[in-house]
Structure 1
Amino acid sequence: MLSWIGLIGGLALLIWMTVRGINILIAGPVAALVVALTAGLPLLPPLAAMLPDGTAAPDFATSYMAGFSSFLADWFLMFLLGAIFGEVMAASGAAASVARFITQKLGSKYALAATVLACAVLTYGGVSVFIVAFSVYGLAVELFREANLPRRFIPGALAFGSVTFTMTSAGSPEIQNLIPMPYLGTTAYAAWEVSMVVALFMATLGYIFISRMVKNAVLAGEGFDTRESDERFEIDTTLPSPLLAISPLAGVLGVFLVSQSLGKWALVLALGSGVALACMVGWSERGRFAATFSRGATGAVVAITNTCAVVGFGSVAKLSPAFMQALDAVQAIPGSPLIGAAIAVTVIAGLTGSASGGQTIALPLIAPHYLDAGADPQELHRIVAIASGALDSLPHNGYVVTTIRAVCGETHQAAYKAVAATTVVVPALGTILALVLFSIF
């Protein structure tokens, strides 16, 4: 019972501190400490008992830092290059050029749609959702400035285009769609017919949600608020041509697609190429590149450590006896195995604050159980993928914290409502739709 109180209380504390604006580097370990104390975990390595095999039992400090450091080691180069790429796109005038072209030729009403579409293309092209936020932010700022839209909706637009209808759809090269494959013997295109319907549903509903929220804010008198840190270009400033300006983004996607045999390191090559192209496009601004690179590097460190803090919490949470009890409970839910799998993955992704983390923890345990219960592997793959993208986007999620605070410089109070509507409510409804469609066909 105590471990249940600690697990739920630790998660609630983490969410509360995050929403209140307490630095996640403080909130993460404090909340994890609550979980560890109530789970009976020793706090430091010297206090951990020795197991029969001669290894030390898990402890709070080692477990938290193992999760923290593993994410840092895996993703730092990608965060660094992604942040620099976004800064150079803004400083070179490339982002402003594309934004001005879209709003002048198509009208300002397409600014929101263009932001979402840019994220969707990069995400479905395989660029990590974390990096997409960095890459498109500069463009989003210019689009929202040109259309005079409230910038507090930029995180919602970035998140909607990245972690909903593209991330978990059939054919997506994102890790959230690939993790189930070795456990279920499926491919990335598992249950593509239902996936296509659900993706269209999520894209339509999510856009209706966020566009109405933006429209209501504009009608209430809100507009774009300029910041000192923004790159600003006067209307008569000579900017790169739109075709040239979009080439760095196209270059990132193109290089990534042709180098996927390199695995995640293809992203390093792609982002490095994008930075080079952006520098070429903005060569006339080369005198500012040193400061631009420095801002990008600083932003990358802040962003990745924010995410690491949440990953560390998840590493401690999964050691709690309540965590395993929760997993056993959802597997015992009667009825369709697809419903049980959806609930299991949703709950674990919410507890760990990670779609990929939730899948990685849940699948080795639930896949054999539900396959033995008669679940179709193709259907199970799609349900697990879609369900993982719902409660993972609670306020403490690493991507959410990074995008709202580190990338966009907003607060949860101002920006999270739009993020929740598009990345929690919409995927949850998408999961329900998928379950209904699988039960019918």
Structure 2
Amino acid sequence: MSIFAILLSLALLMYFAYRGVSVLVLAPILAILAVVLSGQGSESMGIYTQVFMEGMGGFAVKYFPLFILGAIFGKLMEDSGYAYSIAQYIVNKLGDKHALLAVVIACGILTYGGVSVFVVAFAVYPIAAELFKQVNIPKRFIPGAISIGAFTFTMTALPGSPAIHNAIPMPYFQTDAFAAPGLGLISAVLMLGGGMLWMNHQLRLAHQNNEGYGTHTLNEKELDLGGKIPNFWVALLPIAIVVGGNYLFSKIIIPLWDNSYLADEKFGGVTLSSVLGLWSIIISLAIACLFVIAFNFKRIKNIADSLNKGATGSLLPIFNTASEVGYGSVIASLAGFAIIQHFLMGIAPNNPIISEAIIVNVLAGITGSASGGLGIALEVMGANYMQLAQQYNIDPQLMHRIAALASGGLDALPHNGAVITMLTICGLTHRESYKDIFVTAVVVPIIALIVVIILGTVFGSF
């Protein structure tokens, strides 16, 4: 009965998430439903306050700095015009012949630098719409191009990415954002190359059918940049600060500090490797934010307003993800989960990276969230996978990279919030554009994941 309760709860979570119900509402209700149907109804309130809220709060406390700094950085990049400048420069340089690639690269640079997907979509869409209209490329291809640049290789594959999907595995596997860089780069090339092959193929078919841009309203966002678009190279500096700073702090600077105090009970008795990755990203994002502010006092209309909106904008994403982690904590406490866990971890028992990839991907698909699925999976099974890595002499960096890559597959199903928001920004429907999103953000990343699993199994982490 407990297994049935868990499966029913997960099915309802997926269904109602697709129907647009907030996970903040769904997660606690469906967690308690699973508890009641499992025959533990008398423990409902205790499980809610001591298990659900503990799991939710633990995630929020651990990752809140990354969410709020990332959101503020994205808002500052938007309000300063830096995001628009980068996107416009790339599009202008690559020109009409490479319109699709220009949009992909513009999105990729911004998201690799820590700018949120939503800010990227707002910044890139007006430029993409104007370019596609100019060269008569169907507008319905814009979401597919944005998906490649924002939902795939920069989110889960490129070493050093400050994306939360690359940060969540760090405390569990005691790694940093540059885990398994070689495998990350290979998967990034596969995602970029595979996505572009698909989009170019679709473009050729459209041209053969004499399909053009179509009749649409551009819906361009009006930008007030003080009459002048910022210099591209200056706009690129904050991105360099985030990525370069992340490397310097994680590999060189922080390890030189006296970190022995962390062993004190006051600090949880942790090792430096448990917090090194998080510290590096936090410091890098903070410096990048200060840089944007310092160089844009006049260009940004109201810095306080930008900071406030960025901070406020971080709350819903972190609490959505934290609620899903709280939900996972409750499910993990039920008797039926032990059976499910035993079954899942028994998939390829001598190669735990396979079961890890499957579990993260499935949970990301159910929740419609890469970070939510990854958070649930590692919250309830991260310690087990670290133990298995040690047992089978698997480099934790490989476990990290597989977990991150797996979060970026089934997450982009139709009920994914970022997919829905992007289509809304573009003024398009699932019917018009989802096929390209599905191939570029679901099929191709899963193929890349399989290749990395094979390479990691044969050659180990590199």
Alignment of 1:269-308 (within 5 A): 269-308=283-322
Q: What is aligned with 1:53? A: none
Amino acid in the other structure paired with 1:259 = F
Q: What is aligned with 1:358? A: 377
1:315 partnered with 2:329: yes
Cα pair 1:3 1:38 within 8 Å, conserved: yes
Alignment of 1:239-278 (within 5 A): 239-260=229-250, 261=254, 263-278=277-292
SS of residue matched to 2:109: helix
Cα pair 1:14 1:396 within 8 Å, conserved: no
Distance across 2 between alignment mates of 1:391 and 1:336:
21
Q: What is aligned with 2:227? A: 237
SS of residue matched to 1:30: helix
Alignment of 1:312-351 (within 5 A): 312-333=326-347, 337-338=350-351, 341-347=353-359, 350-351=362-363
Question: Structure 1 residues 83 and 424, CA, compared in 2 at 3 Å: closer, same or farther?
Answer: same
Instruction: Provide Cα deviations, 1:43-95, integer angstroms capped at 9, x if missing partner.
Output: 667x65xxxxxxxxxx1342111122222222223322222222222222222
Structure 1 residue 325: Cα displacement: 0.8
1:112 partnered with 2:103: yes
Distance across 1 between alignment mates of 2:408 and 2:174:
22
1:22 partnered with 2:34: no
Identity %: 22
Amino acid in the other structure paired with 2:92 = Q
Q: What is aligned with 1:100? A: 88
Structure 1 residue 342: Cα displacement: 0.9
Q: What is aligned with 1:432? A: 450
Alignment of 1:41-440 (within 5 A): 41-42=40-41, 59-107=47-95, 109=99, 110-118=101-109, 121-122=112-113, 132-133=116-117, 136-137=120-121, 139-141=123-125, 143-148=127-132, 152-153=143-144, 154=146, 157-166=149-158, 174-175=166-167, 178=170, 181=173, 197-209=186-198, 219=211, 221=213, 230-232=221-223, 237-260=227-250, 261=254, 263-333=277-347, 337-338=350-351, 341-347=353-359, 350-351=362-363, 353-355=372-374, 357-359=376-378, 361-365=380-384, 375=392, 377-378=394-395, 382=398, 385-386=401-402, 389-390=405-406, 394-395=410-411, 401=417, 405=421, 414=430, 420-437=438-455
Question: Structure 1 residues 179 and 293, CA, compared in 2 at 3 Å: closer, same or farther?
Answer: closer
Amino acid in the other structure paired with 2:6 = L
Cα pair 2:103 2:149 within 8 Å, conserved: yes
Unaligned regions of 5+ residues in structure 1, if any?
Answer: 49-58
RMSD: 4.4
Corresponding residue pairs, total: 409
Question: Structure 1 residues 213 and 285, CA, compared in 2 at 3 Å: closer, same or farther?
Answer: farther
Structure 1 residue 204: Cα displacement: 1.9
Question: Structure 1 residues 97 and 314, CA, compared in 2 at 3 Å: closer, same or farther?
Answer: same
Instruction: Provide Cα deviations, 1:258-315, integer angstroms capped at 9, x if missing partner.
Output: 3232542333332222222222343323433333333222211222222222222212
SS of residue matched to 1:258: helix
Distance across 2 between alignment mates of 1:358 and 1:231:
41
Structure 1 length-normalised TM: 0.74
Cα pair 2:84 2:124 within 8 Å, conserved: no
Structure 1 residue 120: Cα displacement: 6.5
Amino acid in the other structure paired with 2:195 = G
Cα pair 1:176 1:385 within 8 Å, conserved: no
SS of residue matched to 1:239: coil
Which segment is superposed worse, 7-16 or 195-204?
195-204
Amino acid in the other structure paired with 2:106 = T
Unaligned regions of 5+ residues in structure 2, if any?
Answer: 133-138, 255-275, 365-371
Amino acid in the other structure paired with 2:95 = G
Which segment is superposed worse, 244-253 or 202-211?
202-211
Structure 1 residue 318: Cα displacement: 1.5
Amino acid in the other structure paired with 1:4 = I
